[in-house]
Structure 1
Amino acid sequence: MFVSFFPQPKLFFTSAAVWSLAAILFWFFGGEHLGAFFGLPPAAAGEPPVVGIAVLWSTPFLWFYIYFAFCVLVFYAFWRWYSPHPWQNWSILVAAFILFLIYFNVQISVAINDWYGPFFDYIQGLMAKTMESTDTEFYTKLATFAWLALVGMNVQVVNNFIVSHWIFRWRTAMNDYFMSNWTRLRHIEGASQRIQEDTMRFSQIMEDLGSSFIQSIMTLIAFLPVMIQLQAHITELPIIGAVPQPLVIAALGWCLFGTASVMIAGLKLPGLQFRNQRVEAAYRKELVYGEDHADRAQPATTAELFANVRHNYFRLYFHYIYFNVVRYTYLQADNIFSFLILGPSIVAHKITFGALNQISNAFGKVTNSLQFLLNSWSTIVELQSVHKRLRAFEATLEGAPLPDLDQRYLARQGVKDPA
């Protein structure tokens, strides 16, 4: 699944994680200020943020673009020298460009959050009749948001297009790799389905999960400093009282509670999803044989196979009941959690309407990024089941024992495990 598209996957992903961490730490502990040597200094301390589309080509942003490109090219050059791979342009360069577009969209979200404060304070002043304005001024302020939203929307469209092509290249690499070893894999139950359907599903799920995970990490990195700055308006938490970093503590505690609850509620789902694919594959295989052989797909056989399908689906539906109760209860409570946290400050008149919108938006971005496992648990369950099926191919090619379920299938067919 990975060796077909990435050079030496274990070492590659380890080195990518270490290099990324080093680049991030260096940026925050000095790299950001190196731009001053090239005429691209960071924003001065205490300087208010640039509001509007101009922030995207301000000097701190231009320096980060150069820094990001340099780090990517160094990493690419190392792997091109150390372990050349036919797909490394896609697995490294295009992947890095996708990461950059995700980062760019996250920064647009931060720029929109910066726009919230002055705009909604302006709205509050108009509604309270403490401020005078004109139609032109009002629509000019709205246009600031419109430009940010327009750029963000188009960047997202471009990113989705590139990601779709990147994922299909990965599927192509998997397909070519497995088909080049078809003679060693054809004995595995449902081999044709695993190559045709499971590689497609694996790549599609990785597209969804991978993009969501990276966006969650970048959103967390971008919005945590914003939330720390905004929590100057918050002095204590309800019930708990005064604590350091109250918004950060509240976000972490709330997200850990939700994620743990959903993971516990969904413990049985991966195994049931995997079994579901097996019983569906067995039923489909018998029907395919019945197309060419009159003695196959007899009523008694198909009835038994379909009964297995029905039994597993009904078990799956039952376990999804309490899983969805836990998940959707938490998500509904999440809609008002930030107001529970901000309640004492609102009642005490400590925050303005603009600050309220900024804090609520930043808090929502941070908690949503921390809730990646909670929001993606159903998809992760499906990925686990697909991975188990494709893992049988990898075990065969590595000379390792097949998974238990595949071994039992071969035993029923009178075939010995090649390992």
Structure 2
Amino acid sequence: MFKSFFPSPRLFFISVLVWMIFNLILWHSGGHAWGEYLGFPKGYAEIESPVGVSRFWTASSLWFYLWFLLATALFAGFWRFFSDNKWQKWSIWGSAFILFNIWFGVQVSVAVNAWYVPFWDLIQKMLSEGGGNIEDLYRETLTFLYIAMVAVTLAVINSFFVSHYIFRWRTAMNEYYTEYWDQLRHVEGASQRVQEDTMRFATIMEDLGVELVKAVMILIAFLPILFQLSKHVPELPIFGAVEHSLVWAAIVWAIFGTVLLMVVGIKLPGLEFNNQKVEAAYRKELVYGEDHEERAQPATLKELFSKIRKNYFRLYFHYAYFNLVATWYRQLDILYSLVVLFPAIASGKMTLGLINQIGGVFDKVRESFQYLISSWKTIIELLSIYKRLKAFESILK
């Protein structure tokens, strides 16, 4: 699954983590200002980013782009020297490009969140003062439009690239399995493993990986903002005064939901795995029946299908209460961020722009902490595919 596409997977992913942490430490311990040695304006790193699309080509942003490119080149060069995996251009440079696009998408969210304050405060001012200059509204709307145009363009490019990335990963797995086909062909459902499971595994891994990295990056970008905004919400409903109230409110609610769904959904991965096994056995008998008259007899097919029926009915039952709990949690989640702000709103010390900014930041952080909640069904499917492919690969050991 991994060694076909990534060079020495265990060491590779450890090195990715170490290299990312090393670069983060360097960046935040002064590296963000080192661009001055390359001719960037003095003090550029201390200048606050403007509200608008121009924040994407400030000196600070350009220096980060260059830093990211150099860090990726050094990392790729290291693995080029120590490994000859034919797919590592895609697995390293391709992954880096996707990672950069995730980071850029998070920066777009930060830019939109910064735009909330002047835009909504302008609306509040016009409503409270009996009107204003309509051109100011158009100007602020264009600011958002420019940000959105950059974001949408890059998102489309990234979507196109990711499609090719996934297919390359699937190709790598397909080549690996077909190379050992003589050993693997006798495994029940071998054709499904090579044709279908490789495709689904690559797709789901990419989706979950992107969402995980995005969740982490959103936390890195928005948690400091949420810490600052917490001073405007000194009290929480029921609990009263709480330091860093918004941060604690997001963490506690997300942990509660994650643990809840993990408990109620604990049986689902095993049932999904069994489902594929009984489906594969039924399909295999039907395929044999196409070429051999003595196979796929009604009694045999009835017995195999009864196993499918039994497993599906168990899945329906367990998904019923899982979906009930998940749906109720999501419904309460819609109200949660607003209820948290009730004490601060009732005090009358907040502007409309501040409410929208806090709501936006709080929702971003809360959703990031809820990564497992939003992805739990997909994780269940991935675990079942992983178990099937792992059992498939065990033949080669």
Please give the range of the TM-score, normalised by the shorter of the 2 chains.
Answer: over 0.9
> How many Å separate the matches in 2 of 1:170 and 1:248?
38
1:178 aligns with: 177
2:266 aligned residue? 267
SS at match of 1:248: helix
The CA distance in 1 between the partners of 2:42 and 2:106, in whole Å, is 22
Normalising by structure 1, report the TM-score.
0.92
| Partner residue, 1:293 | 292
**1:46-78 CA deviation, whole Å, 9 max, x = no partner?**
x65411100000111111111111111111111
Give the aligned partner of residue 23 of structure 1: 23
Contact 2:235–2:242 (CA under 8 A) maintained in structure 1: yes
Amino acid of the residue matched to residue 127 of structure 1? L
Contact 1:35 1:42 survives alignment (8 Å): no
Assess, with a 3 A threshold, how the Cα gap between structure 1 residues 41 and 372 changes in structure 2: closer, same or farther: farther
Equivalent residue letter for 2:261: V
Per-residue deviation, 1:242: 2.1
Task: Tell me what 1:96 maps to.
Answer: 96
Paired residue for 1:61? Answer: 61
Residue 229 of structure 1 deviates from its aligned partner by 2.1
1:3 aligns with 2:3: yes
Contact 1:41 1:60 in 2 (8 A): no
> Which amino acid counterpart does residue 132 of structure 2 have in structure 1?
S
Q: Deviations over 1:147-171 (max 9, x none)?
A: 1112111211111111111111000
Give the Cα separation in 2 of the matches to 1:396 and 1:289: 23
The answer (yes or no) to whether the contact 1:190–1:281 under 8 Å persists in 2 is yes
Structure 1 window deviating more from structure 2 (224-233 vs 273-282): it is 224-233
CA RMSD between the two structures: 1.4
Aligned-partner SS, 1:244: coil
CA shift in 2, pair 1:168/1:82, >3 Å: same
Alignment deviations for residues 235-256 of structure 1 (CA, whole Å, 9 cap, x no partner): 1222222222111111111101
Distance in 2, matches of 1:258 and 1:42, equals 44
- Partner of residue 410, structure 1: none
Which secondary structure does the structure 2 equivalent of 1:51 belong to? coil
Corresponding residue number in structure 2 for 1:71:
71
The equivalent residue for 1:365 is 364
Partner deviation per Cα, 1:143-194 (whole Å, 9 max, x = no partner): 1101111211121111111111111100000000111111111121111111
Contact 2:45 2:60 in 1 (8 A): no
* Alpha-carbon distance in structure 2 between the residues aligned to 1:375 and 1:256: 13
Counting aligned pairs with the same residue, the percent is 52
CA distance in 1, matches of 2:42, 2:102: 24
Runs of at least 4 residues of structure 1 off by over 6 A? none
Which residue of the partner structure matches residue 411 of structure 1? none
Relative to the length of structure 2, the TM-score reads 0.97
Q: Structure 2 counterpart of 1:251, which letter? A: A
Count matched residues: 396
Looking at structure 2, the residues matched to 40 and 27 of structure 1 have their Cα atoms a distance apart, in angstroms, of: 18
Report the equivalent of 1:277: 276
Kept in 2: contact 1:76–1:92 (CA 8 A): yes
What secondary structure does 2:241 align onto?
coil
| Paired residues for 1:156-171 under 5 Å | 156-171=155-170
Is the CA contact (8 Å cut-off) linking 1:236 and 1:246 kept in structure 2? yes
Letter of the 1:72 partner, please give it.
Answer: T
Deviation of 1:37 (Å):
2.7
5+ long unaligned stretches in structure 2:
none
Give the aligned partner of residue 409 of structure 1.
Answer: none
Separation (CA, whole Å) in 1 of partners of 2:31 and 2:242: 32
Q: Is 1:110–2:100 an aligned residue pair?
A: no
1:389: Cα distance to partner? 1.0
Query: What corresponds to 1:309 in structure 2?
Result: 308
Matched residue, 1:12: 12
CA deviation after TM superposition for structure 1 residue 207, in Å: 2.1
Letter in structure 2 aligned against 1:393: F
Q: Which runs of 5+ in 1 are unaligned?
A: 399-419
> Does the CA contact (< 8 Å) of 2:250 and 2:365 recur in 1?
yes
